[in-house]
Amino acid sequence: MNIYCIGRNYAKHATELGNEVPEQPLLFSKPSHSLAIANGQTLVMPKDQGDIHHEIEIVLKIDKPVNKGDKLVDVVSEIALGIDLTLRDVQAELKKKGHPWLRAKGFKNSAIVTDFWSFDMSECLQTPFSFKINDETRQKGTIADMLFSFQEIIDECAECFGLGKGDLIFTGTPEGVGSLKTGDQCTLFWGDHEKGTFIVG
């Protein structure tokens, strides 16, 4: 299983962090050991590396090996919500040095996902997703604001890396990212439906 991520796929998120809006998908990956499930458990985070930022995203699950020209509906039957965590201070230092982001993006429990459910494109177009911390909404978005569509993301990942059964793609986060603190109660919503929870440990 591979975990691929799309950076800066919502223009307002790129702007809030002072980054340029990309002209093609910005790709990075996370180790498989970074994966965790939002099933109410406490997830331990690094304590001595500065701010940890939350980024809620829609996650696509690939059903089979993807060939050039394959359509989205033929290779994705399930989606989930996910949280891409970033050690923001670490990332800033790495960027200054021109180094890869892996230390900031790939730590244990940095790729959190809910249970998966059946993918329906029309539902995705109509349904907002959101992230609450201690019952306060911190992020909310819809795929209408994405710079690159699900199809474009799959095409890019397949061409650059290849895609196989079980691979996951985090498709980008809307604006509103911010810090997590120990003890935070975190909840992911699809419309009004709670899809997953976790506690920051």
In a domain, 46, yes or no: no
For residues 49 and 141, give the distance between their C-alpha atoms in angstroms, rounded to a whole number: 28
Partnered with residue 168 across adjacent β-strands are: 3, 61
Residue 102 to residue 94: CA distance in whole angstroms: 9
Q: Which two tokens stand for residue 193?
A: 């439906």
Cα(108)–Cα(153) distance, integer angstroms: 25
Side-chain-facing half-sphere of 103: CA atoms under 13 Å: 12
What total of structural domains would you count in the chain?
1
Asked, for residue 191, whether it belongs to a domain, the answer is no
The pLDDT assigned to 196 comes to: 98
| Burial category of 117 from C-beta neighbours within 10 Å (exposed 0-12, middle 13-18, buried 19 and up) | middle
Per the domain annotation, does 42 fall within a domain?
no
The pTM of the full predicted model, rounded to 2 decimals, is 0.95
Q: Does residue 66 sit in helix, strand or coil? A: coil
Sort 69 into a burial class: Cβ within 10 Å, 0-12 / 13-18 / 19+. exposed
Q: Which residue, chain included where needed, has tokens 């569509």?
A: 149
86-101 pLDDT tens trace: 999 999 999 999 999 9
Range of the domain at 153: 3-37+52-130+140-178
Contact 124, 80 (CB under 8 A): no
> Is 192 contained in some domain?
no
The pLDDT confidence band at residue 114, using thresholds 50, 70 and 90, is: very high
Instruction: Check which CATH number belongs to the domain holding 121 and give it.
Output: 3.90.850.10
**pLDDT tens-digit map of 134-184:** 999 999 999 999 999 999 999 999 999 999 999 999 999 999 999 999 999
